[in-house]
Amino acid sequence: MSGEDEPARSFPAFGPGRRIGRRFADTWWGNAWIESMEHAALDPAQLARGRRYAFAGQVGPITVSPGRIGAPVHDGDPEHPHDTVVRVRALTDAQWDRLLDAVAARAGHIAALLDRDMPHDLVDTADTVGVRLLPGYGDLDPECDCPSWDHPCRHAAALCYQAAWLLDRDPFVLLLARGRAEPDLVAELRTRNARRPTSGRCWPGTTRPG
């Protein structure tokens, strides 16, 4: 799927002055996203500048689509932003099959996602079927049209930091970047859950037949 048919979500820009606790993101998975980017970074100074850009609201509206997170990021002049993208390694069809089967078998996992939560045991379940939900080394590939050779540059770092705020609010943002949109995932999980034996089938919000 590509081009105009590709599912995408757009988010308004974060305003300047956002401040949180000692850690950058609010959730453990948001901070795990940041750690993946920071561990692969070549220049800590670019990360520091990226954090300042993120806090200052120098990242424009963010668009998330399969394999891609993009936004305009500026150096102080909003009229002349840089075209900045973070490529995200998408899961293969086989990986999605294994992941969806595993999640559909656990009503608690489905309920957590629908509640915009990503508990550790959901990520552990994915790991047991050979699927890494949270990005690891090499899963994020920043791109920017600025002249910097740094990896990531300050603009891509700022975008990664703000993307963590989106993940905090909704883990389906991560799943979209990994290749599948929320409506498709929920429909697929319902279908797979319904195929399970009656004794083991219980969609969140329903009562188990008995």
pLDDT, residue 195, reads 81
Compute the average pLDDT of residues 198-202. Answer: 52
List of E strands, the chain: 9-11, 62-65, 68-73, 82-88, 140-144
pLDDT greater than 80 at residue 200: no
Higher pLDDT, 6 or 188: 188
Phi, psi values for residue 117, rounded to 5°: -125, 150
pLDDT digit string (tens) for 132-145?
999 887 788 999 99
pLDDT, residue 39, reads 87
Residue 107 CB neighbours (<10 A): 18
pLDDT digit string (tens) for 7-58?
899 999 998 876 555 568 889 999 999 988 898 888 899 999 999 999 999 9
> From its phi and psi, is residue 76 left (phi > 0), alpha (psi between -120 and 50) or beta?
left
pLDDT greater than 80 at residue 63: yes
pLDDT digit string (tens) for 148-189?
988 899 999 999 999 999 999 999 999 999 999 999 999 999
pLDDT, residue 207, reads 45
pLDDT, residue 23, reads 67
DSSP label at 135?
A: -
Compute the average pLDDT of residues 117-121. Answer: 93
pTM of the model: 0.87
Give me the residues paired with residue 160 across strands: none
Reference 107, options 202, 182, 195; nearest CA is 202
Given a contact cutoff of 8 angstroms between Cβ atoms, the answer to whether 97 and 83 are in contact is no
pLDDT greater than 60 at residue 194: yes
Handedness of CA 42, 48, 54, 60 (dihedral sign): negative
Residue 107 banded pLDDT, cuts 50, 70, 90: confident
pLDDT greater than 50 at residue 109: yes
Residues in the chain: 210
Lowest mean pLDDT among 37-51, 54-68, 97-111, 184-198: 184-198
Reference 124, options 103, 104, 93, 110; nearest CA is 103
